[in-house]
Amino acid sequence: MSSLYIKEATGVDELTTAGSQDHPFKTPAYALFASQQKSDTTEPKLFVFKTEDNEYQEISASALKKARKGCDGLKKKAVKQKEQELKKQQKEAENAAKQLSALNITIKEDESLPAAIKTRIYDSYSKVGQRVKVSGWIHRLRSNKKVIFIVLRDGSGFIQCVLSGDLALAQQTLDLTLESTVTLYGTIVKLPEGKTAPGGVELNVDYYEVVGLAPGGEDSFTNKIAEGSDPSLLLDQRHLALRGDALSAVMKVRAALLKSVRRVYDEEHLTEVTPPCMVQTQVEGGSTLFKMNYYGEEAYLTQSSQLYLETCLASLGDVYTIQESFRAEKSHTRRHLSEYTHIEAELAFLTFDDLLQHIETLIVKSVQYVLEDPIAGPLVKQLNPNFKAPKAPFMRLEYKDAITWLKEHDIKNEEGEEFKFGDDIAEAAERKMTDTIGVPIFLTRFPVEIKSFYMKRCSDDPRVTESVDVLMPNVGEITGGSMRIDDMNELMAGFKREGIDTDAYYWFIDQRKYGTCPHGGYGIGTERILAWLCDRFTVRDCSLYPRFSGRCKP
Ligand code: 4AD
């Protein structure tokens, strides 16, 4: 019978341990286990080092019993480990074989199939039973056993595509990544009852080509615009973020809104014009002007095309423009941009009441057309499920009554004091009031002093102007408009009051000289009306590449 030595402090539990006094095991259980692994048939005698006596002593009966139990556990563990090792080796072999066969699969088009009709995704929904080819970006990618599902996006819509058989197994398919571009060939099939996918169809892919493989790993699309990232990082990656569901939906609604606005203007017989953006006049106060050096002369980026629209009345009749306006806004708010798309109109020979009705028609009808649009309508529902289309007539609220309302509701002005006639109703108070009232409001008849130089005074109360702000719940002001001073002397007094040098305005003043007329107009912030329509927290979400102080890229 052999002897094995165990010393807890310095021993080593390894199969190569000799078990001598110089090279003892650490535990009795392992010493037994090691001896059995060496196929020793008789149980060795175990000697355990006793620190208190400084010598090896034969193991006690109870400790030996415990060691045998421990040895059984070690044996079981060893068997399990061996099994796992074997399984791992098998799996590796299988994977290697799979990879080899995947590498060997070449994706080829079956020439005997009918020629594929090139189609955009939106048109493919009506091509059930036909073989088509669609090109686009991989929006979603998922594999389920031996089938790969791709949601393809081409800007016109989304389609679910199914790759099975060799197509799903090929290495080329396994290497596909989100945002890669592909051309998929296959047959459009109707989805079975109970299943849902865009257009109610699926593309059964029989062949495909990779157009551009997007990176995976560190540089992958989802890493670049990870959900919950800092908004400023997402703005740096705006070119990629625009591919996301919500932003692209807002941009589609935006396109539909501009189309609808143009349609209403067409129905109302307004002519579209495109005034210059580089100007030498201000419209809405000097403090938000973007100055520029124009070949050595001082010039500005336009704040509003209003003055130019006024000059078009005598030439073209009622006119509108949809173009960029610029405001050097110092404050960071959720509804201010440095550059925004301004929808502006100017109409001749009308009363203030006519103007209000016209604005109502424009807003009600253009929203109606957006909701009726087959693409934008469902997107508005998706983005803003509780949206209720506005109905005319909108609530009319005079500025002086708004001041009373604010006082009654204990809402304070910017100085934290009770509102008084003449105060500007700043963003916070305006939003509180609008959200509480909860419906679109025409806030009218603002005091002369808090409005621009060109606004016409009310004939029944010269302290106030024929002016209007349209206020929408959750956003506040989306539109500002007014009747314009049409009398030359009154206009000159307006310039004087605001301290504006009139030299640069000779062409604007001439409108009062060469056949003046009662007229009025307004401007709508496209991003503001969209924020209301699409329920976005900030107008930044409604601009393609938003500009605000500190951000002029990408
Ligand atoms: O009220 P505002 O300053 O009016 C004018 O510019 C007039 N001259 C327009 C006209 O009568 N033709 O601006 C009109 C609208 C606002 O109601 C708001 O919706 C939007 O333009 N707006 C802004 N939108 C985003 N960022 C800003 N910094 C904006 N400033 C005004």
Question: Over the stretch 1-51, which tens digit does the pLDDT of each residue have?
Answer: 689 999 999 999 999 999 999 999 999 999 999 999 887 678 999 999 999
Please indicate, yes or no, if residue 474 is contained in any of the structural domains. Answer: no
Please indicate, yes or no, if residue 123 is contained in any of the structural domains. Answer: yes
The pLDDT score that the predictor gives to residue 99 is: 76
Which tokens in the block code for residue 514? 């060469």
Please indicate, yes or no, if residue 338 is contained in any of the structural domains. Answer: yes
Which tokens in the block code for residue 101? 């066969």
Q: Are residues 325 and 179 in the same domain?
A: no
Please indicate, yes or no, if residue 98 is contained in any of the structural domains. Answer: no
Torsion 16-20-23-29 (CA) sign: positive
Distance 338 CA to ligand 1 centre (A): 11
What is the arithmetic mean of pLDDT over 254-279? Answer: 98
Q: Are residues 11 and 78 in the same domain?
A: yes
Residue 507 pLDDT greater than 90, yes or no: yes
Question: Over the stretch 133-142, which tens digit does the pLDDT of each residue have?
Answer: 999 999 999 9
Residue 198 pLDDT greater than 80, yes or no: yes
- 35 or 145, higher pLDDT: 35
- Look at ligand 1, atom 3, and give the residue with the nearest C-alpha: 284
Q: Are residues 178 and 60 in the same domain?
A: no
Q: Are residues 201 and 270 in the same domain?
A: no
The pLDDT score that the predictor gives to residue 180 is: 98
CATH of the domain at 12: 3.30.1910.20
Question: Over the stretch 326-352, which tens digit does the pLDDT of each residue have?
Answer: 999 987 899 999 999 999 999 999 999
Question: Over the stretch 199-257, which tens digit does the pLDDT of each residue have?
Answer: 999 999 999 999 999 999 999 999 998 888 888 999 999 999 999 999 999 999 999 99
Which tokens in the block code for residue 223? 């890493």
Please indicate, yes or no, if residue 473 is contained in any of the structural domains. Answer: no
Q: Are residues 206 and 128 in the same domain?
A: yes
Out of 39, 67, 87, a domain closes at 87
Distance 479 CA to ligand 1 centre (A): 6
Residue 105 pLDDT greater than 90, yes or no: no
Q: Are residues 380 and 302 in the same domain?
A: yes
Q: Are residues 297 and 344 in the same domain?
A: yes
Q: Are residues 185 and 312 in the same domain?
A: no
Ligand 1 binding site (Cβ under 6 Å of any ligand atom): 283-284, 304, 306, 327, 329, 336-337, 340, 342, 344, 477-481, 521-525, 527-528, 539
The pLDDT score that the predictor gives to residue 226 is: 85
Would you report the helix, strand and coil content of the chain in percent, each value rounded to 5? 40, 25, 35
With the most atoms of ligand 1 within 8 angstroms of its CB, the residue from 304, 334, 358 to mutate is 304
The pLDDT score that the predictor gives to residue 145 is: 74
Please indicate, yes or no, if residue 456 is contained in any of the structural domains. Answer: no
CATH of the domain at 497: 3.30.930.10
Q: Other C-beta atoms within 10 Å of 395: how many? A: 12
Out of 38, 70, 87, a domain closes at 87
Judge if the upstream peptide bond of residue 554 is cis by omega within 30 degrees of 0: yes
Please indicate, yes or no, if residue 272 is contained in any of the structural domains. Answer: yes
- 474 or 182, higher pLDDT: 182
At residue 468, what is the residue type?
A: V
Question: Over the stretch 514-538, which tens digit does the pLDDT of each residue have?
Answer: 999 999 999 999 999 999 999 999 9
- Look at ligand 1, atom 28, and give the residue with the nearest C-alpha: 336
With the most atoms of ligand 1 within 8 angstroms of its CB, the residue from 284, 309, 470 to mutate is 284
| Model confidence, pTM | 0.83
Q: Are residues 49 and 131 in the same domain?
A: no
Task: Identify the three-state secondary structure at position 130.
Answer: coil
Ligand 1 atom closest to the Cα of residue 327 is 28
Distance 314 CA to ligand 1 centre (A): 24
Out of 188, 221, 254, a domain closes at 221
Q: Are 294 and 310 in contact (CB under 8 A)?
A: no
Q: Are residues 215 and 252 in the same domain?
A: no
Please indicate, yes or no, if residue 399 is contained in any of the structural domains. Answer: no
What's the mean pLDDT when you consider all of the chain?
95
- Look at ligand 1, atom 16, and give the residue with the nearest C-alpha: 479
Among 160, 154, 151, residue whose Cα is nearest residue 121? 154
Residue 106 pLDDT greater than 90, yes or no: no
State the total domains in the chain.
3
CATH of the domain at 160: 2.40.50.140
Q: Are residues 498 and 389 in the same domain?
A: yes
At residue 239, what is the residue type?
A: H
Ligand 1 atom closest to the Cα of residue 309 is 12
Q: Are residues 71 and 139 in the same domain?
A: no
CA-CA-CA-CA dihedral for 438, 439, 444, 447, to nearest 10: 10
Range of the domain at 123: 117-221
Taking the C-alpha atoms of residue 471 and residue 436, their distance in angstroms, rounded to an integer, is 12
